[in-house]
Amino acid sequence: MDDLADRTRAALAEGGPLDVGLEGYSPRAAQAQLAEAIAEAMDAKSTLVAEAGTGTGKTYAYLVPALLSGQRVIISTGTRALQDQLYHRDLPRVREALGAGLRTALLKGRANYLCQYRMEQAKGEKFASRDVSAQFQRVVAWSGRTMRGDLAELADLPEDSPLWPMVTSTAENCLGGECPFWSECFVAKARQQAQAADLVVVNHHLLLADLAIKQEGFGEILPGAAAFVLDEAHQLPELAAQFFGEGLGSRQLMDVARDSLAECKNVTASLASVMAPARNLEHAMRELRLAMEPLPQRAAQSRMLAHAPAVAALDLLEHALVELARGLAPLADASPGFGTCANRAADLVHRLRTWREKPGSEPDFDPQADDDARMPPSKSGSDPGFSVRWYELTQRGFVLQRTPLDVSGPLRRYREQSRAAWIFTSATLAVAGDFTHISKRLGLDEPRELLQPSPFDWPNQALCYLPRGLPEPNSRDYLGAMLDAVWPVLEASKGRAFLLFTSHRALREAAEQLRDCPWPLFVQGTAPRNTLLEQFRASGNGVLLGAASFWEGVDVAGEALSVVVIDRLPFAAPDDPVLEAKLDAVRREGGNPFRDEQLPQAVIALKQGVGRLIRSHLDRGVLVLCDPRLLGKSYGRLFLDSLPPFPRTRMIEDVQDFFATQSPPAHALQDDPP
């Protein structure tokens, strides 16, 4: 049996290695069909786009052919959490069941690994609080016993701790072979292990960073592979836009100022030429943030450049950055640290000037030349003629960003150059069974396609409730009316619900209105996401309010989650500067911006939110879709046709009966409820 598809089918079949070797495993037809399609694509070195509905078992479906192929395979996941779960839980089980003696490796981005040089530098720092100081002491103690240097081993280190950038490196501040800790470098060790492995688990951020670096001719992080499997592939276009763009922010500016000052202790008499420019840069950064305060939180560059105080503050920032770059240039050879600081400062001058220039004119910066020196266009980033420049305000800082509108070209080139099989899979790729939208965004020309519906018993496990009488979503009283409609559902389910919102403002207002509800209330932003989910599961009858990140990647099986409420259709904010530019581009090309861009993106986002409800064949639950446009607008049918085959109802009595009995009432099983 030499054919990979045949061996894959046999491995997943009844009486096969997984059935015999994995406790709790049972063969599934949907999983076998997906695995077979993946195996065939690997054999043919072709491209496959496969939507696998919740419950298909797609992880095993791609792990089995990957392990049996005998080829080098890169598996990329959407998040670090999924990456850890795949590598530490799923992969060892399948490998052991198959008896596959392959070398495997887990490789994350450098921001996940302890940098011993930066940790040593940080030992002289004054920390923002006692908590941060205590966290640093725990990192120092752990550094002496860790084998991999993966900060995920420190479960009590908060994801938003200010300590992270102080004890990890970036591509810009890494000293490379000149680092005194190079022989012990955890990043270098992880990459060496990955290069020697047959199967490497990465995440999309790392894969795209590798792609961007290859584009610039600096070599590659990941070795070449015969096959790439991209799970949660619906995230790829947005992430790729980040990596093919270019920007700078207050954090990068603060880091280069702080690192320059820290390096002074290693080079005698350097403080005199660094202190004033570094302090001036910090001051200019604060002045710019203050000048931007009256502006919208996120908008196009033109909005900022029309605000005179912001333009003046930008001039001040550019001058301060140039002065720091000039002060560092003569010190570049004095130490490796000063060398990287000088390069970073010069690069930030370039990025700032590029962001401020009109499209088509990219100024480069020579710290040794005059202030107005210009050099040939930079090699970094993509063609700015196809980019949108925008800014975003954070709580204490800002980001200035340039984002390409179309990443299909570089993604296509990378795929073609690899001469490998590419498998793109997710539970949410198709729009009403059609892959055209995602294929265009990924630069795929006539890929193989597979639509594998969820194998769950939707008619008996779930019910979709569309409340009557709600006003239009943009009306002032919509949120109150929506919560009034949801309240009897929560009473029937006795809590046990996710309320998913399309905006943080609506989430905050709902939290205020529900603060006295009789169920434990968990609100995004009041604690780390994992902590909230653990508390929600433990409560047994909680109500969790979430936005954005809670729409996907959240897995709560069992009775603790029996209701998912979605406040309105998840259309992207129309004033988002990147979306505005995309819609203009579609319009210029003769397309329909709503039909071709906004609508399919909203359908995919809705499918992600809906996917939180039923996570196993034992789950039962009610989906509440509150937006009246689902039935009042012609495009509502596209959303409903893209969802699993829920029975639908407009009667609250049916919801109450659902929770009072073990199956939906018979009269609710109609396709078009009145």
Quote the pLDDT of residue 218.
54
Model pTM? 0.90
Looking at the fold, whether 490 and 596 belong to one and the same domain comes out as yes
Residue 216 pLDDT level (bands cut at 50, 70, 90): low
Of 68-77, 308-317, 363-372, 620-629, the poorest mean pLDDT is in 363-372
Spell out the residues 6+ positions from residue 236 whose beta carbon is closer than 8 angstroms to its own.
204, 208, 230, 411, 424, 442
- Which pLDDT belongs to residue 198? 94
* The domain boundary residue, chosen from 418, 436, 452: 452
pLDDT digits (tens, 9 = 90+) for 190-210: 999 999 999 999 999 999 988
Residue by residue, what is the 3-state secondary structure of 142-190? HHCCCCCCEHHHCCCCCCCCCCHHHHCCCCCCCCHHHCCCHHHCHHHHH
What pLDDT, on the 0 to 100 scale, is given for residue 211? 82
Residues 364 and 318 occupy one common structural domain = yes
Inform me whether the pLDDT recorded for 88 exceeds 90. Answer: yes
Amino acid 595 reads R
The total of structural domains in the chain comes to: 4
CA distances from 601 to 432, 507, 552 (A): 12, 21, 14
**Which amino acid belongs to residue 38?**
I
Q: Say what the pLDDT of residue 469 is.
A: 94
Residue 190 in domain: no
Q: What percent of the chain has pLDDT over 70?
A: 93
pLDDT at residue 217 in the model:
59
The sign one gets for the Cα dihedral 442, 445, 448, 454 is positive
User: What pLDDT, on the 0 to 100 scale, is given for residue 579?
Assistant: 92
Tell me the C-alpha distance between 98 and 524, whole Å: 41
Question: DSSP string spanning 212-247?
Answer: HHHHTTS--SSPP-SEEEESSGGGHHHHHHHHSSEE
What CATH number is attached to the domain comprising 264? 1.20.120
List of residues 6+ apart from 103 with CB closer than 8 A: 196, 197, 198, 199
Q: Average pLDDT of the chain? A: 90
Residue 431 CA to residue 602 CA, distance in Å, equals 10
- Residue 632 and residue 518 share a domain: yes
Instruction: Give the residue-averaged pLDDT of 294-304.
Output: 95
Tokens representing 14 are: 């009844």
**Weakest-pLDDT range from 209-223, 395-409, 546-560:** 209-223
pLDDT of residue 357: 85
Check residue 427 and give its pLDDT: 95
pLDDT at 310 over 80: yes
Q: Are 62 and 172 contained in the same domain?
A: no
SS3 378: coil
Within a domain: 192: no
When mean pLDDT is compared across 258-267, 306-315, 422-431, the lowest value belongs to 258-267
pLDDT digits (tens, 9 = 90+) for 488-538: 999 999 999 999 999 999 999 999 999 999 999 999 988 888 889 999 999
Which residues have CB under 8 Å from 196's CB, separation 6+? 103, 105
- Distance between CA atoms of 37 and 232, rounded to whole angstroms? 17
Q: What is the mean pLDDT of residues 566-589?
A: 92
Q: Kindly give, in sequence order, each residue whose CB lies less than 8 Å from that of residue 131, ignoring residues fewer than 6 positions away.
A: none
Please check whether residues 516 and 584 belong to one and the same domain: yes
Question: Which tokens sit at 113?
Answer: 């690994």
Tell me the sheet residues that pair with 421: 227
Out of 420, 452, 484, a domain closes at 452
Q: What is the CATH number of the domain that holds 27?
A: 3.40.50.300
pLDDT, mean of residues 396-410: 94
| Rg of the chain, C-alpha, whole Å | 27
Per this entry, what is the length of the chain?
674
Helix, strand, coil % in the chain, rounded to nearest 5: 50, 15, 35
Joined tokens for residue 630: 């689902």
SS (H, E, C) 22-78: CCCCCCCHHHHHHHHHHHHHHHHCCEEEEEECCCCCHHHHHHHHHHHCCCCEEEEEC
pLDDT at 614 over 50: yes
**Spatial contact of 231 and 425, defined as CB atoms under 8 Å apart:** yes
| One domain for residues 262 and 283 | yes
Using N-to-C axis directions, what is the helix angle for 236-243 and 408-418, rounded to 10°? Answer: 100
Q: Are 534 and 580 in contact (CB under 8 A)?
A: no
Q: At what angle do helices 29-44 and 4-12 cross, to 10 degrees?
A: 160
Determine, yes or no, domain membership for 673.
no
Same domain, 331 and 480: no
Alpha-carbon distance of 68 to 90, in angstroms, equals 15
Rounded to an integer, the average pLDDT of 442-453 is: 96
> Would you say residue 189 lies in a domain?
no
Examine the domain organization and report whether 85 and 232 are in the same domain: yes
Region of poorest pLDDT, from 161-165, 307-311, 635-639: 161-165
Residues 601, 310: Cα–Cα separation, whole Å: 34
pLDDT at position 662, please?
Answer: 63
Complete edge-to-edge strand list for the sheet that includes strand 47-52 = 104-106, 199-203, 73-77, 227-230, 421-426, 47-52, 448-452
Looking at the domain assignment, is residue 415 inside a domain?
yes
Residues 390 and 281 in one domain: yes
Q: Is 522 helix (H, G, I), strand (E, B) or coil?
A: strand
CA 133, 134, 137, 142 torsion: positive or negative? negative
Mean pLDDT on 251-280:
92
Q: Are residues 252 and 323 in the same domain?
A: yes
Residue with more model confidence, 82 or 652: 652
The domain containing residue 141 runs over which residues?
110-184
674 lies in a domain?
no
pLDDT for residue 200: 96
Average pLDDT estimate for 160-174: 89
Distance CA 278, CA 356 (A): 22
Of the ranges 48-52, 156-160, 523-527, 596-600, which one carries the lowest mean pLDDT score? 156-160
Which helix (H) or strand (E) segment is 482 a member of?
Answer: helix 478-493
Residues 641-669 have pLDDT tens digits of: 999 999 999 999 999 999 998 654 444 43
pLDDT score of 366: 67
Beta bridge partners of 649: 465
Given a cut of 70, is residue 121 above it in pLDDT? yes
The answer to whether residues 480 and 560 belong to one domain is: yes
Asked if 268 and 345 sit in the same domain, the reply is: yes
Task: Give the tens place of pLDDT for each residue, 320-365.
Answer: 999 999 999 999 999 999 999 999 999 999 999 999 985 444 455 6
Boundary residue ending a domain (386, 417, 452): 452
Domain membership flag for residue 174: yes
Q: Is residue 315 part of a domain?
A: yes
